[in-house]
Chain A
Amino acid sequence: DGGITQSPKYLFRKEGQNVTLSCEQNLNHDAMYWYRQDPGQGLRLIYYSQIVNDFQKGDIAEGYSVSREKKESFPLTVTSAQKNPTAFYLCACQGGDRVHNEQFFGPGTRLTVL
């Protein structure tokens, strides 16, 4: 069954800690994306990667870091430098024609800072 998964579903973090959110896909898609979702603000792009070992900053990259060592995996680290990390985080992937094709989304991770 092809798809995109995220773990954990819920994550709690103390202030000052770094945490890593997992995103894995078996759709053989080249491009992967991380979004942050806050109520009433839609989705905002954090980072994206169009190919292994390469990634670009999105609109709100400050306080976040990513890696893309494997095609299937695109983990996101929320660092202590992120001032307001409590949010719903969505990972997506896209294959083939990146202009015409849609993005496929994972189920999301809800991060809460205590």
Chain B
Amino acid sequence: AQSVTQLDSQVPVFEEAPVELRCNYSSSVSVYLFWYVQYPNQGLQLLLKYLSGSTLVKGINGFEAEFNKSQTSFHLRKPSVHISDTAEYFCALRGSASKIIFGSGTRLSIRP
């Protein structure tokens, strides 16, 4: 069975501080990994995705994520956050089926 675990339900950080949102996955087959962002009362928007190749993936809004196969992790990072980054972030994976499995989400709150 495949699963995605987001280890933190909420992450508070100060503006301009770095942030890391953690994501671990479980799968017996090769996976494709995604990070989505959801602003309040809106749909999800893709931040970045890992399909193959370089393990460091850069996305929109200054975010990046690193795929670590040995640790089965795909953590999302940003070196300096802004108030506008306040949102909920979802890690997701797709295995061989067409369905995507989502984590439970991490709510990022930015303090001025």
Contacts and interface: CB of A to CB of B under 8 A. Distances in A.
Interface of A: 4, 6, 31, 40-43, 45, 48, 50, 58, 90, 92, 94, 98-100, 102-103, 105-108, 110
Contacts of B42: 107-108
B44 A40 contact: no
B46 A40 contact: no
Nearest to B98: A98
A51 to B, nearest CB: 11
Contacts of B99: 45, 48, 58
A45 B100 CA distance: 9
- Taking chain B's interface residues, is the majority helix, strand, or loop, or is none over half, making it mixed? loop
Given A41-B104, A42-B90, A42-B104, 10 more contacts: A42-B103, A43-B102, A50-B98, A90-B43, A102-B34, A103-B100, A106-B43, A107-B41, A108-B41, A108-B43
A100 B98 contact: no
A107 B34 CA distance: 19
Contacts of B105: 40, 42
B98 A48 contact: yes
Given A100-B51, A102-B34, A43 B90 contact: yes
